[in-house]
Chains A and B, each alone.
Chain A
Amino acid sequence: MSRLSKLCGALSLSVALLLGGQADAQDSVAAAGGGPAAATPAAASGGDAEKGKALFTNNCAQCHAVTDEVVVGPGLKGVRQRTPGEDWLIKWIRNSSAVIASGDPYAVQVFNKFNKIQMSNFPNLTDDDIKGILAYIDQASAPQEATVGGAGQAQARGGGGASAENGDGSAGGPSELFTFVLVALLVVMLLVLGVLLVIVTILSRAVSPAATGEGAPTTVPFTQRLREGLTNAVNNSTLRSIVIWLFIFVVTKESVDGLYSIGIQQGYAPKQPIAYSHKLHAGQYKIDCNYCHTGVNKGKSAHIPSANICMNCHGVIKKESPEIQKIYAAIEQNRPIEWVRVHNLPDFAYFNHAQHVNVGNVQCQTCHGQIEKMEVVEQRSSLTMGWCIDCHRKTEVNTKDNAYYDKLVALHRKESKEPLKVANIGGLECSKCHY
């Protein structure tokens, strides 16, 4: 929350460039370079396109494509024609900020058009280097419209196919399983139904006096037969006691279970104000837990990230998503996002993240479950005292290369043959957690 007000300022300066295009700039460059670019009009300008290609990939491709596509900066197709000339381009590439500062109208116009993002300066590039890069751009963008387009499309299609496949793969696994389970359930239910029908037939034959041979079972209505059957069943003392005992057993079990679940929130998965997915961020993109939960190595709490950490990426990407627009709204109104706490320890129990994560080397997943697979975070562990104690009894202390433990280990060896556990160094002391 502390950075909210600062962010408001930063937001107004924020990068407003959003990229619709999905094609990877580097890929399309590579594809273009690989095309049969025989005719090189750039050769006339005296640049070495081969050398230029390497320089382009290394220095420019992160922000520029050789086509019309805007990556971060403008697409460079036809850059020689639309700019004031080669000398200007050389000056610009070496030190664009100086050109802008000099008040050059074209430079200022481009700078403003692309949201005032400063292009890096490349003072180390020689005139020949820059000419080579320009030659490469000419070669890659100009002659082979068809090949570039074709390759680009093929790639786009390939990429689309791959992502669709991925989507199907992730959705396909569970859905297939789901259908299988459904079919299996259906079969089981049909079997049960069949068995029940058989039982009903047998019972009705046994109970109904009409079935003994009069040949007129239809005269006795079903309700009457049922009533008679029930009366017989109720009058049967064995059956009655079985039912009563079963009832007492079920009630007792449910009561005991209910009592044990008091104060335990296992399975709690509240709906959050913003549908943030750990599965996407921590699972698919493999962003380290520490990146957002910055306190986890340093303090008691792991920290819920403030909005500025969201903005580190979402200041640029996925800005149009309605969920991310909620972050923007919160920042603009200087209003905190009220996330719902999932893991609630009682106030009388002390827990410290740094102690467990940094010193104890406990993985986040040990207590929180497979967070990187959760769309909505759920409390997986019971967080009861028994659960804590159990882990303290089982976990060995990593005493290797740590002089702090030397004497403790020596003392412990005298008393026991077991390795040194957390319980042996005070992990079961009441006052460690309750004070």
Chain B
Amino acid sequence: MITKHTGITAIVLIGLLAGGTACKRDHDDTGLEFAPQMYDPVSYEPYKQVRPNEVNPTGLNMRDPARGTVSRPNYHTRFGEGDTTTTDLMIYNIPKDSIALAERVLTNPIPQTERTLEEGKILYGRYCIHCHGEGGKGDGLVGKEYKGVPSYSADAYKSMNDGHIFHVITHGKGRMWPHGSQMTPEERWKIVQYVHKLQQG
């Protein structure tokens, strides 16, 4: 009975096929790649780790930059003419505990225009708004949960000057943690401009 056997074989094959295709690829699986040697980077990519790195201590391609490294492309050395804070902008080396020094010596090197203020507002929306709130009242969605976020227009805060705000963004103060790693000095100075606007209430 050849015909009978082919019939059974066909049914079995269809069963196998249905079973094989019913299972979708697992969420943890990247699936089949045709030519991984073309897809995977040959060079050491920090964000793409295919095999352990034998050079670096943790086995990752990523590693800490050398101590004191300053990422130069992100740092403007001059804003306008003849300002005195250029060196401080390159490497903001006023230590965390010297906020009084920052208040005394730093002034905003970026001349305030409508455009910089607008940029400051955008940057404020990215980095500050979730705690400090849209109007700087300390009532952001995270701020309510975090607690202890002051209002910029409160008596103790409304007179804080350029250097103070810049220093606090960079190094943090009280419950606020340092945000210097997330923003270039130029961005921080633009935020300072916008915070001054919010201080007026």
Q: How many A-B residue pairs have CB under 8 A?
A: 172
Q: DSSP class of B's interface residues: helix, strand, loop or mixed?
A: loop
| In contact, A71 and B39 (Cβ under 8 angstroms) | no
| In contact, A15 and B175 (Cβ under 8 angstroms) | yes
- Answer whether residue B151 sits at the interface, using C-beta atoms and an 8 A cutoff: yes
Given known contacts A63-B148, A125-B155, A347 and B64 CB-to-CB distance under 8 angstroms: no
- Answer whether residue A24 sits at the interface, using C-beta atoms and an 8 A cutoff: yes
Which B residue's beta carbon lies closest to that of A70? B147
Q: Which residues of the partner chain A approach B181 to less than 8 Å between Cβ atoms?
A: 2-3, 294, 306, 308-309
- Answer whether residue B29 sits at the interface, using C-beta atoms and an 8 A cutoff: yes
- Answer whether residue A384 sits at the interface, using C-beta atoms and an 8 A cutoff: no
| Residue interface bits A163-176, CB-to-B below 8 A is 1, else 0 | 00000000000000
| In contact, B74 and A62 (Cβ under 8 angstroms) | no
Q: Which residues of the partner chain B approach A265 to less than 8 Å between Cβ atoms?
A: 30-31
Contacting residue for B7 out of A5, A233, A271, A304, CB 8 A: A233
Contacting residue for A263 out of B32, B142, B146, CB 8 A: B32
Contacting residue for A262 out of B34, B40, B64, CB 8 A: B34
Q: Which residues of the partner chain B approach A268 to less than 8 Å between Cβ atoms?
A: 27, 29-31
| In contact, A71 and B147 (Cβ under 8 angstroms) | yes
Q: What CA separation (Å) do A117 and B150 show in the bound complex?
A: 14
Q: Which residues of the partner chain A approach B39 to less than 8 Å between Cβ atoms?
A: 263, 344, 346-348
Given known contacts A1-B63, A124-B155, A263-B39, A290 and B148 CB-to-CB distance under 8 angstroms: no
- Answer whether residue B60 sits at the interface, using C-beta atoms and an 8 A cutoff: yes
Q: Which residues of the partner chain A approach B145 to less than 8 Å between Cβ atoms?
A: 285, 317
Q: Which residues of the partner chain B approach A30 to less than 8 Å between Cβ atoms?
A: none
| In contact, A2 and B142 (Cβ under 8 angstroms) | no
Which B residue's beta carbon lies closest to that of A125? B155
- Answer whether residue B114 sits at the interface, using C-beta atoms and an 8 A cutoff: no
| Residue interface bits B163-198, CB-to-A below 8 A is 1, else 0 | 000000000011101110111000000000000000
Q: Interface size bucket, B side?
A: 35 or more
Q: Which residues of the partner chain A approach B33 to less than 8 Å between Cβ atoms?
A: 262-263
Q: Interface size bucket, A side?
A: 35 or more
- Answer whether residue B48 sits at the interface, using C-beta atoms and an 8 A cutoff: yes
- Answer whether residue A243 sits at the interface, using C-beta atoms and an 8 A cutoff: yes
Stretch at the interface among A43-51, A98-106, A244-252, A400-408: A244-252
- Answer whether residue B93 sits at the interface, using C-beta atoms and an 8 A cutoff: no
| CB proximity to A under 8 Å, residues B47-65 | 47-49, 58, 60, 62-65
Q: Which residues of the partner chain A approach B146 to less than 8 Å between Cβ atoms?
A: 313, 316-317
| In contact, A304 and B156 (Cβ under 8 angstroms) | no
| In contact, A59 and B14 (Cβ under 8 angstroms) | no
| In contact, B126 and A291 (Cβ under 8 angstroms) | yes
- Answer whether residue A415 sits at the interface, using C-beta atoms and an 8 A cutoff: no
Q: Which residues of the partner chain B approach A55 to less than 8 Å between Cβ atoms?
A: 155
| In contact, B48 and A341 (Cβ under 8 angstroms) | yes
| In contact, B47 and A341 (Cβ under 8 angstroms) | yes
Q: Which residues of the partner chain A approach B149 to less than 8 Å between Cβ atoms?
A: 62
Nearest Cβ distance between residue A238 and chain B, in whole angstroms?
A: 14
| In contact, B17 and A254 (Cβ under 8 angstroms) | yes
- Answer whether residue A264 sits at the interface, using C-beta atoms and an 8 A cutoff: yes
Nearest Cβ distance between residue B37 and chain A, in whole angstroms?
A: 10
Q: Which residues of the partner chain A approach B29 to less than 8 Å between Cβ atoms?
A: 268
- Answer whether residue B144 sits at the interface, using C-beta atoms and an 8 A cutoff: yes
- Answer whether residue A58 sits at the interface, using C-beta atoms and an 8 A cutoff: yes
Given known contacts A341-B47, A347-B41, A271 and B28 CB-to-CB distance under 8 angstroms: yes
- Answer whether residue A335 sits at the interface, using C-beta atoms and an 8 A cutoff: yes
- Answer whether residue B111 sits at the interface, using C-beta atoms and an 8 A cutoff: no
Given known contacts A124-B155, A298-B74, A309-B182, A62 and B47 CB-to-CB distance under 8 angstroms: no
Residues in A lying within 8 Å of B, measured CB to CB? 1-5, 10, 15, 19, 24-25, 55, 58-59, 62-63, 71-72, 117-118, 120-122, 124-125, 230-231, 233-235, 240, 243-244, 246-247, 250-251, 254, 261-265, 267-271, 284-288, 290-291, 294, 298, 301, 304, 306, 308-309, 311-313, 315-317, 335-336, 338, 341, 344, 346-348, 376, 378
28 sample A-B contacts, Cβ–Cβ < 8 Å, listed by A number: A2-B65, A2-B181, A4-B64, A55-B155, A58-B151, A58-B154, A62-B150, A72-B148, A117-B175, A118-B173, A120-B174, A124-B156, A230-B4, A234-B4, A234-B6, A244-B10, A261-B31, A268-B29, A268-B30, A269-B27, A301-B46, A308-B177, A312-B179, A315-B177, A316-B146, A317-B146, A344-B30, A347-B45
Beyond A62-B138, A234-B7, A290-B127, 7 additional contacts (C-beta under 8 Å) are A5-B64, A124-B156, A243-B10, A247-B14, A261-B25, A344-B48, A347-B48
